[in-house]
Amino acid sequence: MTDVDPRRLIPRTDHLMALPEVAAARERLGDTRIRTVIRDLQDRARRGELPPEQVSRAVVDRLGSTPSTSLHPVLNATGVIVHTNLGRAPLSEAAVAAVAAATGYVDVELDLATGARSRRGAATRDALLRSCPAAQDALVVNNGAAALVLATTALARDREVVISRGEMIEIGAGFRLTDLMASTGARLREIGTTNRTHLHDYADAIDDDTGCVVKVHPSNFRVEGFTSAVPLPDLHHLCRERRVPLVVDLGSGLLAPDPLLPDEPDAATALAAGADLVIASGDKLLGGPQAGLLLGTAELIGRLARHPLARAVRADKLALAALEATLIGPIPPVTRFLHADPEHLHRRTDRLAAAVGAPVVPHDGRVGGGGAPGVPLPGLAVRLPEAAAKALRLGDPAVLARVHDGACLLDLRCIPDADDDRLTDAVQRALTSIGTRD
């Protein structure tokens, strides 16, 4: 009698697809991903790496642990609040609920009372104006760079943009704001020097070919010493006299002053000082979703909203929902982390250190995302061996720590209290995996 080839015992794809657990997973993962998992495990069985009788169980187990996205949730133990590599601002529970509610059909451009088409995201616009009464009108686009491109295109295509050399900055991943503006067809008129620009520099540059004056907050660096910049009120008077729009790019997204960050500009103050248009990000210090915020005069906002490019860069319904919830809801995580109670943070850090047998050291957090450069946020960190950093990153949950001076530092500023036990377990597993409890 001929022995049966064990590969013939491998369950067929249609039989595996019919398993109740697999059928249930189809709603979450879809047929394509499920078939990929099945083929992978069948191939392992054909190579002799998996017994045929274990394929069904392996498929069910694999699907149970397969996430619906390749993105992994991460516990941010770096002390950097607006961490660009981690998606910047974490959303509040209210914003998350708003996103979930907006995943189906919603009245994003519909007046339910009349059945007629309405202004897109009207409720989000109203929430922005209530949060920043100094603005006459507001417009939301998909990110801060898009807001700057839209403004430059609408105001200065084939014309000049006057900008100080001290404000020609490069943002993350090598992108330069000047390149973004030049890509719109505007010509940059550079004035002043890296460290000093005066009112007369602007006055000499503004002429009939000027589309707008752009003032950019150098949010990711500081120039100190022999410096000079033109205050907004002075620049406002000049621009009004010459009938040229004054555009101010704040970057970080504060709508009102924060006493903890006295040197960080905000939209309300900039508008009160004479800015015609203010640009900011929604996913930085505001603590909301990725979005570009444009706040300013009714005339300018209307002009931008009517421009064809506005359609290409508009925010989707999920961002509008999350932004509205951030503006009208409870204090978002970014604000809580920024204003964390030092004593409470100290107690939590001590508990973690005691649980894992590690020392506590002073550690300064940061705003991040280009906000408040050089401003320390005094705090503490649990000091682990440097080798623990990789084990933590690859663990479940993934934990991102700061690696500095030959050590792995865990700062709890951006870890929600509810995740303390998960963090402790993750650290204990990481220390075990590297063979130390130091």
Instruction: Give the list of residues 6+ apart from residue 436 with CB closer than 8 angstroms, or none.
Output: 385, 387
Going from the C-alpha of 418 to that of each of 135, 189, 348, 399, the distances in angstroms are 38, 52, 11, 15
Q: Checking DSSP bridges between strand 398-404 and strand 377-385, what pairing results, if any?
A: unpaired
Q: What is the pLDDT of residues 310-344, one digit of tens each?
A: 999 999 999 999 999 999 999 999 999 999 999 99
**Percentage of the chain exceeding pLDDT 70:** 98
92-329 has CATH 3.40.640.10 classification: yes
Are the CB atoms for 249 and 282 separated by under 8 Å?
Answer: no
Q: What is the pLDDT of residues 408-421, one digit of tens each?
A: 999 999 999 999 99
Residue 214 corresponds to which amino acid? V
Q: What is the pLDDT of residues 116-135, one digit of tens each?
A: 999 999 999 999 999 999 99
> In this predicted model, which residue has the larger pLDDT, 228 or 174?
228
Q: Where are the domains of the chain?
A: 6-62, 74-84+336-433, 92-329
Q: What b-and-e string marks burial along 120-153, b requiring 16 or more CB atoms within 10 Å of the CB?
A: bbebbbebbbebbebbbbbbbbbbbbbbbbbbbb
Q: Please give the average per-residue pLDDT across 93-106, as a whole number.
A: 97
Are the CB atoms for 292 and 128 separated by under 8 Å?
Answer: no
Would you state the structure tokens that stand for residue 255, as one six-digit string?
Answer: 């709508």
Sheet strand arrangement including 360-365: 74-77, 398-404, 407-410, 377-385, 360-365
Q: Please give the average per-residue pLDDT across 378-398, as a whole number.
A: 97
Are the CB atoms for 275 and 306 separated by under 8 Å?
Answer: no
Compute CA 144 distance to the chain's CA centroid, rounded to the nearest angstrom: 11
Per-residue pLDDT band for 290 (boundaries 50, 70, 90) equals very high
Would you state the structure tokens that stand for residue 113, as one six-digit string?
Answer: 């009372």
Task: Tell me how far apart the alpha carbons of residues 177 and 216 are, in angstroms, rounded to a whole number.
Answer: 9
Per-residue pLDDT band for 223 (boundaries 50, 70, 90) equals confident
Q: Please give the average per-residue pLDDT across 153-158, as a whole number.
A: 97
Q: What b-and-e string marks burial along 379-418, b requiring 16 or more CB atoms within 10 Å of the CB?
A: bbbbbbbbbbbebbeebeeebbbbeeeebbbbbbbbbeee
Statement: residue 251 has pLDDT above 80: no
Residue 417 corresponds to which amino acid? D
Q: What are phi and psi of 192, to 5 degrees?
A: 70, -160
Statement: residue 309 has pLDDT above 60: yes
Instruction: Give the list of residues 6+ apart from residue 425 with CB closer than 8 angstroms, or none.
Output: none
CATH fold label, 74-84+336-433? Aspartate Aminotransferase, domain 1 (3.90.1150)
Enclosing H/E stretch for 76: strand 74-77
- As a whole number, the mean pLDDT across the chain is 94
pLDDT of residue 150: 98
Instruction: Give the list of residues 6+ apart from residue 327 with CB closer than 8 angstroms, or none.
Output: 124, 127, 128, 130, 131, 288
Helix (H, G, I), strand (E, B) or coil at 278: strand
Going from the C-alpha of 428 to that of each of 105, 363, 384, the distances in angstroms are 45, 21, 11
Residue 122 corresponds to which amino acid? A
In terms of residues, how long is the chain? 438
Residue matched to tokens 């050089």: 374
Q: Please give the average per-residue pLDDT across 249-253, as a whole number.
A: 84
Task: Tell me how far apart the alpha carbons of residues 225 and 342 are, in angstroms, rounded to a whole number.
Answer: 33
Q: What is the pLDDT of residues 53-97, one digit of tens each?
A: 999 999 999 998 888 888 899 999 999 999 999 999 999 999 999
Statement: residue 152 has pLDDT above 80: yes
